[in-house]
Amino acid sequence: MQLKNLINFTLRDLENEIIILGEPKYRAGQIFSSLHKKNARSFDVISAIPVSLKEKLKENFFIPELKLLEVSDSVKFNTKKFLFELSENKRKYVFESVLISENGRNTICISTQIGCNVGCEFCATGKMGFSKNLSAGEIVQQVYEIISNTGIIPTNLVFMGMGEPFLNYANLLDALKILTEPYGLGVSSKKITVSTVGFTEKISKFADDISSEENRNLRNVKLALSLHSTDNGLRESIIPTSVRNRLPDIYNELVYFYRKTGNKITYEYIFFNGLNDSENDIKRLVKLSRMVPSNINIIPFHPIDFKLNKPLDIFNKEKDLNKLLSNKNLFHFIEKLKENKVTVNLRSSSGVDINAACGQLAVKKTQS
């Protein structure tokens, strides 16, 4: 009989498993709390349950190990990058998560895949290719291991690490249920953001799922769209999946998401000097910002150790972050948006020196 990963189960699913074992339903809450609030790593330390139940658990389940290989500390920012290893079917995989501490917030940037199958031209993870989807347990264990290593309880969780969350949808949804469950870590859904490049039908499904009565703990989860261009042609050249998920259809889905959930939309917009900063880009962003309540995060383009193809090949020679950040066109672009009453923020480049900033995650160990 194949053992089941005990960390993967939501509380409701775990209750069903416990009933199948012939045990009272309330035992599931005790087990869930030990696993997800106290980070129990073996059956023997699960508290408040009898030895006989621990033996049943050992016969039917396993608690996986998520091995922490390395922690990289930024010398410029209060940011840490965590390199994890997991074993599956005699293979070893590595992936990364990030802890960003700034302005009184402690944000964990969580990965949902190892590599990514979207293949965005500007993203180091996309350049890696795709290895596997992370299970719900492997997603939430990133948070627990970071807490265990640092003693820091996160104020915010963002699903903006390696991978495209909506291409691992079922495991993403279960991970959200686990993380927001009061018997576990009990993270407020107001403090969680899920980022996607946008897939038709997936955004509306996400709206339906998080607003359902069954998932009431998820109702305030925020959505961020990795936009990066309001021009279909440019966007299709840098985000391959946008060929089949065109902006007009994505915009309709975002309107549905807002009307269904009442949650404001965030647009993530990497600034590519000379490519997506024209007057027409500004006009389209202004119009977009008035479609539903939203804000736009402007992100400096971060250098990656991969060759860039057209139209981003003009950035192959520029690896100096200071020059990228000091570009007067970047600040002019932001000011023009603000003049048009757009809520816009310049995202910091926290962790850029350890390849932990936006778009840089590519399982690179720190050089000794």
Contacts by 168-171, CB closer than 8 A, 24 or more apart: 168/112, 168/113, 168/133, 168/134, 169/202, 169/205, 169/206, 171/112, 171/133, 171/134, 171/135, 171/136, 171/139
Question: Does the active-site annotation cover 201?
Answer: no
Q: What is the CA radius of gyration of the chain?
A: 21
- The span from the CA of 269 to the CA of 297, in Å, is 6
Which SS3 state, helix, strand or coil, does residue 192 take? strand
- Among 15, 23, 96, 253, the active-site one is 96
Beta strands 91-102 and 105-109 are: antiparallel
Contact 292, 250 (CB under 8 A): no
Question: Does the active-site annotation cover 109?
Answer: no
Task: Based on DSSP, count helices (H) and strands (E) in the chain, helices before strands.
Answer: 12, 14
Residue 39 one-letter amino acid: N
Cis peptide before 154 (omega within 30 of 0): no
The one-character DSSP state at 160 is -
- Among 109, 116, 120, 358, the active-site one is 358
| Active site members | 96, 358
